[in-house]
Amino acid sequence: MYAKRPSTRSVMVTLVTCLATACSSSAPPASNVTAGAEVASATKPIAATDEPPTVAQAVAQAARVEAPRAKIVPHAMEEHGKIRTDNYFWLKERENPEVISYLEHENAYYEAVMEPTEELQKTLFDEIVGRIKKDDNSVPYRRDGYYYYSRVVEGGEYPIHCRKQGSLDAAEEVMLDGNALAAGHDFFALRGLAVSPGKDILVYGVDTVGRRFYTLHFKNLTTGEILPDTIPDVTPNMVWANDNRTLFYAKQDPDTLRRYRIYRHVLGTDTAKDTLVYEEPDETFSSFVYKTRSKKYVMIGSFQTLSSEIRYLDADNPSSEPKVLQPRQRDHEYQADHYGDYFYIRTDHEAKNGRLMKTPVSQTTLEHWQEIIPHREDVFLTGFELFKDHMVVTERRAGLPHLRVIKQSTGAEHYLDFGESAYQASLSANFDFDTNVLRYRYTSMTTPPSVFDYDLDSGKKTLLKQDEVLGGFDSADYVTERLSAAARDGKQIPVSIVYRKGLRKDGSQPLLLSAYGSYGATIDPRFSAARLSLLDRGVVFAVAHVRGGQILGRHWYEDGKLQKKKNTFNDFIDVGEYLIAQNYTRSERLYAIGGSAGGLLMGAIVNMRPDLFHGVIAHVPFVDVMSTMLDPDIPLTAGEWDEWGDPRKKEDYDYMLSYSPYDNVEAKDYPHLLVTTGLHDSQVQYWEPAKWVAKLRAHKTDSNRLLLHTNMDAGHGGATGRFKRHHETARDYAFVLDLAGISK
């Protein structure tokens, strides 16, 4: 584990010392934050009082006068005969109170510069939460004789998890109240709720730091008693065996955070003596556990970027030894479920876009696999769901998701019709194996999230719920389009776009362009009630489906990784230029936003084409690519060499160095930048954005805003709570709107 945050006293002492020296021993004088009235706002003094200023006031006063400057401590790193000097390497010292002081100083500076937008932020926040129903229920789903659902109540930030036995008219049983559990915590995450096969024991994971280390607790749902069994510092990935006493769970390495061990716990026994069932020896692989829909097998999966391996054991005999289904092979990924006498397998073996196979439980290796659905060049097979009489296959064709229904006995099939040109459709809670009703979710950029039941035999759709958007929302007031932008190499980049009806395509509208573009993750067009606050003020919102995702199939992913990673950045830039050419906006009205690996994208495009964007928001950005990927002790590094490259190899090193945002900061003008991070981030360590901002301050030649905000109580996902988190949304929107000259 990492060291805890220093005490408040130690932070205060160092903070005052840091402010007295402007947190810098050798940095050049700070330039103005922004021009004109913005500087005047930034130098607004704190009101005088008879009391000496608090540390917070001292920080704020100093921040209003001068932008923070991190001290320079050169740190040389040599690789392949090349030396890189990192002047801000010292910011990795989480235990160093001076690091905390610097982050607090940046926060105070951020507050000072954003102070003129406080009224706008409040207006936006009130609008956003005003569209959310204060009392609401999820759609109940049926599982093992109970109906499970969650509900939220006015004044509550977190769901209350409930169930009813046998009928929705039965008495409500409250399993967990998230609000009660969250009391007294600045950060709270509840994950992995799982009811035992006997329906009487609930296991759940709690994280109150944001580092994604959870403590598992057990509750007797009959008596309400919290059992003494407590399992600390693990993941929320766990499943029950069929004996109602045994739980399998995944544990991560305390330093690298790699999920590499699967343990078995028996209720009532000492958790410190839990049995290690499987340990993944390859540092590039991670492990997880799940249960087949038939409930017959507990499955232990190992995976990395290019290959996977699954073990299985009898859920009725949890102490049995796991057996390998198919030994791992380089460039072979597969997923497996169970039905009858067969394992069903989605595989990319000799099938880049995937095909569906089955194999007898008695003969599971590759040579026994039988093809059910062949590979298709124009269809990406993403998954499948097994039912007693049907199979539902999830596919992606022409960039859009499709649900394909196949009758098990006859092979007859059909597709669901969604009726829109751009949308997101996905399977929902389908726990009942013996049913002919499919539960799925649907949304588009103009359609709020909706839950449907679909009769697999008759084809009848039943809308169970569509999220209610308060405040007079009417989807007819908005327009969504699917566009196609030509990339510089001739590829056609899909673009999803939404705007308020009546848009003048004269280039005058602000446009916020978003993308991710890594790990094969697909960002489908979906609805956001919060986003209405932008659309209603004339801002156009667009998603660039750049290479590195899988919206157009596996080749789309492979064309945006490793030695082709720059395609991701070029695609985003080319989409921006396309939207300008089509008069949706112009350069001085174009904004960009991305997070995590999407933050890497933001870092790359501001180095490559800073003139194209007026402002950029980079959330928890992965920007120090070289240093991170050279350090296998940093969380998640070793498992991602097949995503980004292994810089221990010179060819990969040279290519990665050519785009790494931190390493390519130059003395030139940059757009306005808002950068965010979380002190406890387990995915992208806080020091990456902190170092990036520090280096940008020392090099950039413009007077544009450069803001770093560190959430000192959160991790990769930012603030928690269904209302509280929208303070961050309002901040982002205010940053863009203020730059666009929209003050109300």
How far, in Å, CA of 256 to CA of 262, rounded?
16
| Residue 530 C-alpha from the chain's centroid | 18
Tell whether 511 and 639 lie within a shared domain: yes
CATH of the domain at 730: 3.40.50.1820
How far, in Å, CA of 369 to CA of 359, rounded?
5
The neighbouring-strand residues paired with 160 are 151, 177
**Per the structure block, which two tokens stand in for 667?**
């003395």
**Per the structure block, which two tokens stand in for 511?**
């446009």
Query: What are the backbone angles phi and psi of residue 562, rounded to the nearest 5°?
Result: 50, -125
Sign of dihedral through CA atoms 372, 378, 384, 388? negative
Please report the pLDDT score of residue 435 as a whole number. Answer: 92
CATH of the domain at 220: 2.130.10.120
Please report the pLDDT score of residue 718 as a whole number. Answer: 52
- Which residue would you say has higher pLDDT here, 304 or 13? 304
| pLDDT of 58 above 90 | no
User: Of 207, 229, 337, 681, which one is the catalytic site residue?
Assistant: 681
The strand ranges marked E within 416-573 are: 424-427, 437-443, 450-455, 461-466, 478-486, 492-500, 511-514, 540-544
Contact call for residues 276 and 238 (beta carbons, < 8 A): no
Question: pTM higher than 0.75 for the full model?
Answer: yes
Instruction: Average the pLDDT over 201-217 and give the result.
Output: 91
Tell whether 434 and 385 lie within a shared domain: yes
- Which residue would you say has higher pLDDT here, 117 or 94? 117
Tell whether 250 and 306 lie within a shared domain: yes
Residues 6+ apart with CB under 8 A from 411: none
Please report the pLDDT score of residue 32 as a whole number. Answer: 27
Per the annotation, the verdict on 319 as an active-site residue is no
Please report the pLDDT score of residue 536 as a whole number. Answer: 97
| pLDDT of 16 above 80 | no
How far, in Å, CA of 74 to CA of 56, rounded?
30
Domain membership flag for residue 165: yes
Contact call for residues 247 and 203 (beta carbons, < 8 A): yes
Q: What is the pLDDT of residues 688-730, one digit of tens each?
A: 999 999 999 999 999 999 999 998 876 555 555 677 788 999 9
Tell whether 427 and 534 lie within a shared domain: no
Q: Write out the DSSP string of 291-324.
A: E-TTSSEEEEEEE-SS-EEEEEEETT-TTSPPEE
Mean pLDDT of the chain: 88
**Per the structure block, which two tokens stand in for 678?**
């979380």
Please report the pLDDT score of residue 162 as a whole number. Answer: 97
Please report the pLDDT score of residue 1 as a whole number. Answer: 27
Please report the pLDDT score of residue 8 as a whole number. Answer: 26
How far, in Å, CA of 405 to CA of 395, rounded?
11
Tell whether 525 and 669 lie within a shared domain: yes
Domain membership flag for residue 642: yes
Q: Return the percentage of the chain with pLDDT > 90, whole number.
A: 77
447: containing domain = 378-467
Tell whether 572 and 691 lie within a shared domain: yes
- Alpha carbon of 169 to those of 140, 147, 528: distances in Å? 12, 10, 33
Instruction: Average the pLDDT over 416-436 and give the result.
Output: 90
Contact call for residues 174 and 191 (beta carbons, < 8 A): no
Question: What order do you get walking across the sheet with 400-407 strand by strand?
Answer: 379-386, 390-397, 400-407, 413-415
| pLDDT of 582 above 90 | yes
Tell whether 575 and 663 lie within a shared domain: yes
How far, in Å, CA of 251 to CA of 110, rounded?
37
Please report the pLDDT score of residue 18 as a whole number. Answer: 33
Q: Which of 348, 371, 394 is the last residue of a domain?
A: 371
| Pairing mode of beta strands 286-291, 297-303 | antiparallel
Least reliable range by pLDDT among 83-92, 331-340, 420-429, 477-486: 420-429
Domain membership flag for residue 21: no
Domain membership flag for residue 244: yes
- Alpha carbon of 403 to those of 104, 339, 416, 541, 729: distances in Å? 49, 20, 6, 27, 33
Domain membership flag for residue 706: yes
Tell whether 314 and 230 lie within a shared domain: yes
User: Of 24, 444, 518, 596, which one is the catalytic site residue?
Assistant: 596
**Per the structure block, which two tokens stand in for 674?**
């808002």
Least reliable range by pLDDT among 328-332, 610-614, 709-713: 709-713
- How deeply is 67 buried, as exposed, middle or buried, from its count of CB atoms within 10 A (0-12, 13-18, 19+)? buried
- Alpha carbon of 741 to those of 580, 612, 614: distances in Å? 19, 18, 12
Q: What is the pLDDT of residues 484-525, one digit of tens each?
A: 999 999 999 999 999 999 999 999 999 999 999 999 999 999
| pLDDT of 39 above 70 | no
Q: What is the pLDDT of residues 377-389, one digit of tens each?
A: 999 999 999 998 9
How far, in Å, CA of 160 to CA of 137, rounded?
9
How far, in Å, CA of 675 to CA of 673, rounded?
6
Please report the pLDDT score of residue 66 as a whole number. Answer: 79
Please report the pLDDT score of residue 254 as a whole number. Answer: 86
Helix (H, G, I), strand (E, B) or coil at 725: coil
SS (H, E, C) 400-421: EEEEEEEECCCCCEEECCCCCC
Contact call for residues 507 and 513 (beta carbons, < 8 A): no
Domain membership flag for residue 356: yes
Domain membership flag for residue 70: no
Tell whether 220 and 347 lie within a shared domain: yes
| pLDDT of 31 above 90 | no
Tell whether 170 and 192 lie within a shared domain: no
Instruction: Average the pLDDT over 662-674 and give the result.
Output: 98
Please report the pLDDT score of residue 64 as a whole number. Answer: 55
The neighbouring-strand residues paired with 415 are 404
53: confidence class by pLDDT, cuts 50, 70, 90: very low
Least reliable range by pLDDT among 642-646, 674-678, 722-726: 722-726
Q: What is the pLDDT of residues 113-124, one digit of tens each?
A: 999 999 999 999
Tell whether 298 and 220 lie within a shared domain: yes
Per the annotation, the verdict on 200 as an active-site residue is no
Instruction: Average the pLDDT over 314-328 and give the result.
Output: 97
Please report the pLDDT score of residue 635 as a whole number. Answer: 66
| pLDDT of 199 above 90 | yes
How far, in Å, CA of 437 to CA of 314, rounded?
28
| pLDDT of 49 above 50 | no
- Which residue would you say has higher pLDDT here, 633 or 83? 83
Domain membership flag for residue 444: yes
Please report the pLDDT score of residue 717 as a whole number. Answer: 55
Domain count within the chain:
4
Per the annotation, the verdict on 314 as an active-site residue is no
Tell whether 154 and 228 lie within a shared domain: no
User: Of 574, 716, 732, 738, which one is the catalytic site residue?
Assistant: 716
The neighbouring-strand residues paired with 414 are 405
